[in-house]
A and B are shown apart, each in its own frame.
Chain A
Amino acid sequence: MLLRQNFIIILVFFGMVLSGFIYLNNNQCRCHQKITEQGIINGGTGTTVDPRKLTCNQQITEQGITNLKWKQNTFGLRSSPGLLYNQPSALVGSRTDVASVSPWSAPIVWEGTFDSKLIDSIYKQQNLTIATTAFALGKYVRFVKDFLESAEQHYFVGFRVHYYLFTDQPELVPEVKMGENRSLTVLKVQSLKRWQDISMSRMEKLEKLIESELASEANYIFCLDIDTKFYGRWGVESLGRLVGVIHPWLYDTSRDKFTYERSPKSQAYIPAGEGDYYYAGAAFGGSLEDVYHLTKTCREKMSIDAANSIEAVWQEESHLNKYFLLNKPSKLLSPEYMWRDINERAAQIKIVRFTNVPKNYAEIRPNP
């Protein structure tokens, strides 16, 4: 009897010890994990990490999304010793027929304003990844081949580029030979009936893509229209924190003629007398963090408009213009970077780098 009692006592102790060990072990693991994740999540930008607040029981779910870890862009503009190039001048502007800087000192990139050899050399040192997004839904999938093939010839040649192609027909995406350091990810999305909806839904898709995949992976992102083609260099001269492209039809127009959204009911409203430039919705980019903020804001504003039964005159391009009015781009690309048509000319356009391709809108759009 006594023996059995002893046995039971021993067993009970065993049990208590074991459960004690298991409990503490779990606690420790969770503690470790939570602090590691927090330490990394807040290590990038913005908030301070107060170690006194790092308790084991802190919830990280919400924090995990608002404090994305951005791949650091902390490199300076390092130049290789011994690199030879012409002396830049302080007094002779390379282009006297255009403006090369905005009133808030953002450079406006035109042919002649930059030295491509020098600038390539500077950015080659940074081991960059440039994410590039395009959407090809419905009949627009026919543009993919020319877009990708011409990009492989002209777009960030020699740098690491990761294309993200959103389409509702992944099986129709052609095989395109990619250079070294270049890759393509095809993402399936739902078809939509109206081309305006297809256009506007891009903002949300981009927001989610950056959140879920890109934040830690790429340094810069460009979001381009697919019904386009590259004809000339588009390189690292285009990189900056927040990059807008001046619209090819509206660069020589007074601001009151810009096709901004003019109804005060819309979130995209810009009144007469305001506005810097008219930016193209077909191409914008920048650092992951800044473009994330852009796409998130545009998506939110479009949602509000939709709830108020209003659609901005040029869809998300109107919202983009509103965003760029309130959040000035740190760099502007001239219309060389988003031109009207390869066969069209204008005095100031010395080189057409990227342009719309002719198409029959009635034939390819799902709706007028």
Chain B
Amino acid sequence: MGISGTMLLRQNFLIILLFFGLVLSGLIFLKNNQKSCKQQIIEQVFIEPKWKQKTSGLRSSPGLLYNQPSVLVGSRTDVASVSSWLAPIIWEGTFDPILIDSIYKQHNLTIATTVFALGKYTRFVKDFLESAEQHYFVGFRVHYYLFTDQPESIPEVKMGEKRNLTVLKVQSLNRWQDISMSRMEKLEKLIENELANEADYIFCLDIDTKFYGRWGVESLGRLVGVIHPWFFDAPRDRFTYERRPESQAYIPAGEGDYYYAGAAFGGSLEDVHQLTKTCREKLLIDAANSIEAVWQEESHLNKYFLLNKPSKLLSPEYMWRDINEKAAQIKVIRFSNVAKNYAEVRPNP
């Protein structure tokens, strides 16, 4: 009786231990499962770069006073103020700067602005930045990103409140065409790494330029192109598109909307990322096929804008030929190329 008694007790012990073991392992298993549940969902939420959300509309302050807009009288009868796909074309007189500033002030915007100053082009930085501080998105938050191979040559420029400059060192390149084309990849990477969550809009500008007049929030849009100052009055078959079918930038005769300047383009971070990425990819394909488009990345930009229509166009006021040149339709020169000796300033002809 005693032996069977202890045997039974031991059996019970064993059974109890077994159950304990089962319970424990069950609990451990479920706890692990629950953790990975949380983790998986967290990862999914973060797979795509999170673009800074732009969900506010065009809110206007109550009581703001300005002239009544007209339905029947166009402010400019000498130019087109809308494209055939209903993208506004911005000319002096087509927008009310007080009203439009008031609308966009409510959005707490950050406008990223990129330029490249390699080799002798660093000489343009001072005028560019100083004139930008006077005319470019005045009163708004602007973050300049200056790519250069000589950070030590960058002058100190006094920045307004809410304005700052980040200098990024890049490698020198031997050919100005390569310098020009490599910008697309640098921009693509910059947006991916730094800007996606930080800025609302980005503009990518040439450095050998200067501001002479207002460049403000009237220029903002999802995808913004600037009409080239030498081609706004030309038929499309005279546009200097890339005309060889072997290039990715090829646009045949009979096609094309406008000729866009490579010196200035912009938009939302997401849209410009798509643009720079696509141009970079197409440039690579061309390079692999030993072909360089006639106007480098400007040709690819034009191809991109043909297939991905800009949501807003800026008139040549926003990228003009030269401060001393005039044209009937240009009432204000806002941003212009500066005179230079190309032979002297470029690393190669």
Which A residues are within 8 Å of any B CB, using their own CB?
2-3, 6, 9-10, 13-14, 16-17, 20-21, 24-25, 27-28, 31-32, 35-36, 39, 43, 45-46, 48-49, 51, 54, 74, 76-79, 81-82, 84-109, 113-115, 118-119, 122, 237, 241-242, 246, 251-252, 254-255, 273-277, 289-290, 293, 325-331, 334, 348
18 pairs, A vs B, C-beta closer than 8 Å: A6-B12, A48-B50, A51-B46, A76-B223, A77-B85, A77-B308, A87-B235, A91-B79, A91-B233, A91-B329, A92-B80, A95-B74, A101-B95, A103-B66, A114-B82, A114-B84, A328-B60, A329-B58
Pick the residue among B9, B23, B72 that contacts A348 (CB under 8 A). Answer: B72
A77-B311, A275-B68, A327-B58 given; A93·B26 CB < 8 A: no
In the assembled complex, the Cα of A115 lies from the Cα of B9 at a distance in Å of: 92
In the assembled complex, the Cα of A254 lies from the Cα of B308 at a distance in Å of: 39
Chain A residues with CB under 8 Å of B99's CB are 103-104
Nearest residue, chain B, Cβ from A13: B19
Q: With both chains docked as a complex, state the minimum distance between the C-beta of A46 and any C-beta of chain B, in angstroms.
A: 6
Chain B residues with CB under 8 Å of A77's CB are 85, 87, 223, 308-311
Pick the residue among A35, A118, A325 that contacts B41 (CB under 8 A). Answer: A35
**Cβ contact within 8 Å between B53 and A35:** no
Nearest residue, chain B, Cβ from A84: B254
**Cβ contact within 8 Å between B84 and A88:** yes
Chain A residues with CB under 8 Å of B307's CB are 78-79, 81
In the assembled complex, the Cα of A3 lies from the Cα of B236 at a distance in Å of: 99
Question: C-beta contact mask, B155-172 vs A, less than 8 Å → 1, else 0?
Answer: 000000000000000000
**Cβ contact within 8 Å between B12 and A9:** yes
Nearest residue, chain B, Cβ from A329: B58
Pick the residue among B38, B82, B222 that contacts A31 (CB under 8 A). Answer: B38
Asked if B151 lies at the interface with its beta carbon under 8 angstroms from chain A, I say no
Q: With both chains docked as a complex, state the minimum distance between the C-beta of A257 and any C-beta of chain B, in angstroms.
A: 11
A-B contacts besides A28-B30, A28-B37, 5 pairs, CB < 8 Å: A16-B23, A98-B74, A105-B90, A107-B82, A328-B58
Q: With both chains docked as a complex, state the minimum distance between the C-beta of B331 and any C-beta of chain A, in angstroms.
A: 13
Chain B residues with CB under 8 Å of A36's CB are 41
How many chain-B residues does the 8 Å CB contact rule pick out? 89
Chain B residues with CB under 8 Å of A20's CB are 23, 26-27
Chain B residues with CB under 8 Å of A325's CB are 60
Asked if B271 lies at the interface with its beta carbon under 8 angstroms from chain A, I say yes
In the assembled complex, the Cα of A329 lies from the Cα of B59 at a distance in Å of: 9
**Cβ contact within 8 Å between A93 and B71:** no
Nearest residue, chain B, Cβ from A17: B23
Asked if B218 lies at the interface with its beta carbon under 8 angstroms from chain A, I say yes
Chain A residues with CB under 8 Å of B96's CB are 103-104
Asked if B289 lies at the interface with its beta carbon under 8 angstroms from chain A, I say no
Asked if B78 lies at the interface with its beta carbon under 8 angstroms from chain A, I say yes
In the assembled complex, the Cα of A115 lies from the Cα of B11 at a distance in Å of: 89
Q: With both chains docked as a complex, state the minimum distance between the C-beta of A43 and any C-beta of chain B, in angstroms.
A: 7
In the assembled complex, the Cα of A251 lies from the Cα of B69 at a distance in Å of: 11
Q: With both chains docked as a complex, state the minimum distance between the C-beta of B85 and any C-beta of chain A, in angstroms.
A: 5
**Cβ contact within 8 Å between A51 and B42:** yes
Question: C-beta contact mask, B27-64 vs A, less than 8 Å → 1, else 0?
Answer: 10011011001100110111000100101011110110
Nearest residue, chain A, Cβ from B59: A327
Pick the residue among A94, A105, A241 that contacts B218 (CB under 8 A). Answer: A105
Asked if B89 lies at the interface with its beta carbon under 8 angstroms from chain A, I say yes
Residue picked from A39, A79, A104, most chain B C-beta under 10 Å: A104
Chain A residues with CB under 8 Å of B38's CB are 31, 35, 51, 54
Residue picked from A45, A82, A276, A331, most chain B C-beta under 10 Å: A276
Q: With both chains docked as a complex, state the minimum distance between the C-beta of A236 and any C-beta of chain B, in angstroms.
A: 10
Q: With both chains docked as a complex, state the minimum distance between the C-beta of A101 and any C-beta of chain B, in angstroms.
A: 5
Asked if B77 lies at the interface with its beta carbon under 8 angstroms from chain A, I say yes
Asked if B22 lies at the interface with its beta carbon under 8 angstroms from chain A, I say yes
Asked if B246 lies at the interface with its beta carbon under 8 angstroms from chain A, I say no
Chain B residues with CB under 8 Å of A49's CB are 45
Nearest residue, chain B, Cβ from A325: B60
**Cβ contact within 8 Å between A88 and B58:** no
A6-B8, A87-B236 given; A100·B82 CB < 8 A: yes
In the assembled complex, the Cα of A13 lies from the Cα of B15 at a distance in Å of: 10
Q: With both chains docked as a complex, state the minimum distance between the C-beta of B156 and any C-beta of chain A, in angstroms.
A: 36
A54-B42, A93-B81, A101-B81 given; A113·B86 CB < 8 A: yes
A107-B86, A108-B71, A252-B72 given; A17·B59 CB < 8 A: no
**Cβ contact within 8 Å between B233 and A90:** yes
A108-B71, A237-B86, A276-B68 given; A93·B60 CB < 8 A: no
**Cβ contact within 8 Å between B8 and A88:** no
Asked if B100 lies at the interface with its beta carbon under 8 angstroms from chain A, I say yes
Chain A residues with CB under 8 Å of B58's CB are 104, 106, 242, 327-330
Q: With both chains docked as a complex, state the minimum distance between the C-beta of B4 and any C-beta of chain A, in angstroms.
A: 10
Q: With both chains docked as a complex, state the minimum distance between the C-beta of A250 and any C-beta of chain B, in angstroms.
A: 9
In the assembled complex, the Cα of A257 lies from the Cα of B33 at a distance in Å of: 69
Asked if B83 lies at the interface with its beta carbon under 8 angstroms from chain A, I say yes
Q: With both chains docked as a complex, state the minimum distance between the C-beta of A128 and any C-beta of chain B, in angstroms.
A: 15
In the assembled complex, the Cα of A273 lies from the Cα of B66 at a distance in Å of: 8
**Cβ contact within 8 Å between B232 and A90:** yes
Asked if B240 lies at the interface with its beta carbon under 8 angstroms from chain A, I say no
**Cβ contact within 8 Å between A100 and B77:** no
Chain A residues with CB under 8 Å of B5's CB are 2
In the assembled complex, the Cα of A348 lies from the Cα of B59 at a distance in Å of: 30
**Cβ contact within 8 Å between B53 and A45:** yes
In the assembled complex, the Cα of A61 lies from the Cα of B38 at a distance in Å of: 20
Pick the residue among B8, B22, B69, B258 that contacts A102 (CB under 8 A). Answer: B69
Pick the residue among B73, B94, B329 that contacts A105 (CB under 8 A). Answer: B94
Q: With both chains docked as a complex, state the minimum distance between the C-beta of A23 and any C-beta of chain B, in angstroms.
A: 9
Chain B residues with CB under 8 Å of A45's CB are 53, 55
Chain A residues with CB under 8 Å of B31's CB are 24
**Cβ contact within 8 Å between B41 and A105:** no
In the assembled complex, the Cα of A251 lies from the Cα of B71 at a distance in Å of: 6
**Cβ contact within 8 Å between B63 and A274:** yes
Q: With both chains docked as a complex, state the minimum distance between the C-beta of B28 and any C-beta of chain A, in angstroms.
A: 11
In the assembled complex, the Cα of A241 lies from the Cα of B58 at a distance in Å of: 10
A93-B80, A327-B57 given; A104·B72 CB < 8 A: no
